[in-house]
A and B are shown apart, each in its own frame.
Chain A
């Protein structure tokens, strides 16, 4: 009988990138196999739900749960794995804060079904059939898991012990967490963020931060930024200033803005609100003398018009876990 501690990994509403991030630890995956009984991972191993149903509660030492909670099935698996695991870790942005699936909280379920199954130009659906939990057919009743009105994060559904941010988490950080587990290091306080720093991406970014003022915004296709100055001072919205460090500032190092995949930095509840706080103090609407308060507001609005999608830019990864959580119905 295998006496090694059990390790599980599951995907809910996810893309598979988080599993790729795990195997990207390369040959160290052998150390994982040597130290753990990798008991469950539908993406990589031929393991089934019934395998873990047969486990005693708490039999799995650690589960990495990636993916958001979009359907009834996602929720059922989250509850099952919570019960069977001593330590449940939200792995990656989808599970930790909703990520790209969470952006769908800007629309209703009915609107999604309409655009996916009815208005979609590549779909021929004259009877307007959309998925529903139960369908009667001559042979009986077919059931599929219900689709939820909203995407939720893992911690909005079950108790989560730790979270590893990133879309996906950087493999070096993933290995660092696993290494600590293998060493049997004392676990950090419950609720801690693992595999990230306690500052912002700016800390890891080598760009010059001395003149962070901005008087117009550019979208990434409109400008090739200079390599040295901070991207914000060049009018490119870089979320690095409102994003936890830990990735090594990968994006600004290759002349692309950070889009915020590591989520809010320590002490920040809402990444979008933080971004407004910092950009609001960097906007420079030009000469102020003699301008009325209304005229000043109009000038600022003109600058702000150049940002086409506020929620999609400031909450690209964190919408479902943000304070507002999405559009009001």
Chain B
């Protein structure tokens, strides 16, 4: 009896590795600490009422960003561990198996639990404000999306200490990821954790598509929308059409592993290549899901700090549309080398190269926007300016990789790793940092410190180049991706040392940014005007942070850059009449999203371990929550006129 309990525990908890014991201890300590602090300060009720049950898009956005920053920390630790292992030849910091797990969790976390939720956070904060709306189309669904992402991420991360991490790469190729070659629960964690958060992403796509299509303030035609909103509209369309394919792919592999089906196995007629196709049919659009929104952010920031309207607005929009269409017909470039016929490779080679055209057009539009502008070098602007050359390197090397014959040389080498980090870091990560600094005052009502912000920018940006520029050459010298160590004497060592120095530098840059956040929370400059950057779009027309209802009066829009136009009219002395306030109708808070997602987590955990006694009740809980929601009719309340007046007076906006 005791022995069987012991052996169960030894299998259930990951054992034998000091790093994991460290993680166990720190998870336990942090959890106890959080519970203690909340209890001591009697904050449980506050947490529940203000955050866990909120349906306010601004708070949901903040929760997305906090979670994504924590995940960035975890993914960054994984990156540093890999760089530590590879710094010198024949190192034994990580063994082969552990290295596999670390690059898998690093890749998955960075894409699914950092890049996407960070972007979802920023769009939650900015889009409804930019279009002059009081919330998103479906506030309940929005909260549900967040909690599904959150619990999916928790489930995935649990694999580190309970049961073991997945190790088949973020792309999880069959047949290696199948039950036969990859027994145990690690891969199940990947499949189910990502599935749960993916359902949330799909819902977010639908939500923002409808929000932008149907809830714009009067007068805001599609071609008067801010560019960030445009980018989210297009991204949402991609989400709606790409994610279901991923849902299916993950489900099929789960069925393979749990119920012995043969979709992707080698035996009984399964087709491992089918997985590669399904995965990348989602996977390539996915990279545009994390890229187009940051194009939008850069467009806003560059226009704001060049003090000009965006150059070539319509062209910008149409090039994003072109990118979104092309993104669905390029997926095969991820496996040019896996036995396609020449005409097939040729088609996908050309379609991939075509994407460079609209992307290049956008780069020139940003440059022309800067041309003759009065450029102000704020922290967000520095991130945006650094994006242009660094991302272009990623784009150009992308075209190199797109040439199918040449890809036989580059494929799965560090050249590829350098390429996608050039796009994902210089594109997505610079973009989310840019957006973070730009919209921070709108989120919290105070600024991030500019001096520390600039230091963290320079350290991070220079270190990024130290880490990833040499990596291209390392790839050309033959070092392949996902190798956990290498022999001395190949001439790779100096470059690896330099890269690890760069990686450490990026860690320092990020740590400085985290310090800046904490410092500014205490001493940061208050934003009393609601418009600290002299912004051009509507989110700056309301207080920082915006009231629950965003706008006491829904603005009327007459032109692009609506707020800039309003300010000009004001300066020209046009008097504005403020109509009387009306009571405002808002959705109620609700606990169902968080409870339903918690059931999803329980179900997911059960299925990971194939404990159906746990998985099935979990699913029943999910359905019960849906039914409960269907019977809720009293889900709105009115904010009375008096309250609106008070709130507006408190921000000095009552005229």
A and B found bound together: no
Residues of B within 8 A of A (CB): none
